[in-house]
Structure 1
Amino acid sequence: MVRLMRGEFAKLLSTRLWLWLLLATMALTALFASLNIAFNDDPDTLAPPLATAAGQRLLFGTAAGGAQTLVAVLAAIGMTSEYRHRTATTTFLATPHRARVVTAKLITYALTGATFGLACVAVVTAIAWPWLTARGIDPTLTGNGIPATVAGVVAAVTAFAVLGVCLGALLRDQAAAVVGLLVYLFVAEPIVTRISALQDWTVFLPGPSASALTRITLTDQDFLQPWQGGVVLAAYGLGVAAAGLWRTARLDLT
């Protein structure tokens, strides 16, 4: 397994896609955090005041929103590239146990997702600390539930990386996997979750579950408890992983 993981990291680092997506992720996080702080005093904002624990948790939770989509896209590309560039045959001939190959990709991109999450937390910290201090707000990384939020961010981004790999294994087509992820996360889910009549079940969707895991609070939307969000995300990951492994094991490469 270590050999397979080394190979997967070598494939990941062989192009600059991971770097561009990391930079884009950090830029998005910086934008989200800056907008959160800049417009927090607006009476129409949906965010709690930054002087409160809930407001600071929401601010640090933006790190997940900036990272999880692009990490999922990176992971999906990492899986589907095997089929797009027709290297799957060579890969599976070198390692006949196909489940081991998929597992190595899962671990590789899970670690990559955790790294992206930590990088985005660092961006939020670099922006929030001087800005909030200038406003007379005392930010903290050890209180107000911030450590749990940071852990939730890392866990949520890691989960989305796993989902990206599994979706790629399930669909195999790179365009379908990437476009499907973007349409769902940027269009379908935001629309559905804003329909108040559906909130009894939309809280169980991946995005709201990640928000619950990071302990986000909004004035117009309720979420699950953090542990429930973690369980739901884990269930999604296990379910899609099982489907992806099943499809990969029965794939005809001839």
Structure 2
Amino acid sequence: MRHLIAGEFRKLLTTRLWLWLLLASMALTALYSSLLIAFSGDGDTWTPALSTAAGQQTLFGVAAGGANTLVAVLGAIAITGEFRHKTATATFLATPHRGRVVAAKLVTCGLAGIGYALTCLVVVAAIAVPWLATQNISVPLTGNGLPATMLGVVADIAIFALIGVGVGALVRNQVAAVVGLLVYRFVAEPILTGVPALADWTLYLPGSASASLTQISLTTQHFLEPWQGGLVLAGYGIAFALAGTLTSIRRDIT
């Protein structure tokens, strides 16, 4: 298994896709951080004051957590690329146990997700700490519940990597998988969570579970407890990972 994982890392690093997605994640994190801080004094903002623990947790959760969708895209491309570039047959012939191949991709993308998360957390800290200091607001990185939020961000992004691999294994078509993930995360789920009549069950959607896990607080939406959100999101990750693995084992690869 160790050799399979090493091989998957080599595949991942062969192209620059991981780098472009990492840079995009960092840019998105910087944008979210800047917007949240710049508009924190607006009376109509949806987030708590950044001088509070809840506000700082929300800042780190929203800004760094925005990378989860791009990591899901990375996971989806990692497996759909095998079919798009016609390398799936050679891959599965080299390792006939298809489940182990998918498991190696899950581990590889999950670890990559952890790396993305840590990088984005550093970006948030690099922007927030000095900027808020000019406003006489201290950001104790080891206090105000921020360590729990940071751990939540790491878990959140790693789980979304698993979801991406699972979706890619189920769909196989790279364009469909990537577009589907982006449309769901940036269009479909925001629309659903914006409907008050659906509030009781939209709590359990992946994005809402992610917000719960990372301890995001919004005046316009309520979330589950962090441990509940973590369990729900982990359930999605496990479900998609298992479904993708079983589909890869049973479906003809040609």
TM-score interval, normalised by the smaller of the two chains: over 0.9
CA distance in 2, matches of 1:160, 1:121: 16
Instruction: Tell me the C-alpha RMSD between the 2 structures.
Output: 0.8
Q: Aligned ranges for residues 37-186 of structure 1 at < 5 Å?
A: 37-186=37-186
CA distance in 1, matches of 2:126, 2:243: 40
Runs (5+) with no aligned partner, structure 2:
none
CA distance in 2, matches of 1:3, 1:224: 40
Q: Aligned with 2:179: secondary structure?
A: helix
Q: Percent identity?
A: 63
Moved more, 56-65 or 45-54: 56-65
Q: What TM-score does the superposition give when structure 1 sets the normalisation length?
A: 0.98
CA distance in 2, matches of 1:63, 1:116: 13
CA distance in 2, matches of 1:100, 1:169: 13
Q: Aligned ranges for residues 175-214 of structure 1 at < 5 Å?
A: 175-214=175-214
Q: Aligned with 1:143: secondary structure?
A: coil
1:234 is the counterpart of 2:229: no
Question: What is residue 34 of structure 2 aligned with on the other side?
Answer: 34
In the TM superposition, what whole-angstrom CA distance separates every residue of 1:187-245 from its partner, at most 9, and x where no partner exists? 00011001111110001000010000001111111000000011001111111122111
In the TM superposition, what whole-angstrom CA distance separates every residue of 1:76-116 from its partner, at most 9, and x where no partner exists? 00110011111111011110100000000000000000100
> What is the Cα deviation at residue 247 of structure 1?
0.9
Runs (5+) with no aligned partner, structure 1:
none
> What is the Cα deviation at residue 66 of structure 1?
2.3
Q: Aligned with 2:82: secondary structure?
A: helix
CA contact (8 A) 1:60 1:124 kept: yes
CA distance in 2, matches of 1:8, 1:48: 42
Question: What is residue 4 of structure 2 aligned with on the other side?
Answer: 4
Q: How many residues align?
A: 254
CA contact (8 A) 1:64 1:157 kept: no
> What is the Cα deviation at residue 33 of structure 1?
0.4
CA distance in 2, matches of 1:120, 1:63: 8
CA contact (8 A) 2:67 2:117 kept: yes
CA contact (8 A) 2:53 2:144 kept: yes
CA contact (8 A) 1:149 1:214 kept: yes
CA distance in 1, matches of 2:63, 2:39: 17
4+ residue segments displaced more than 4 Å = none
CA distance in 2, matches of 1:231, 1:221: 19
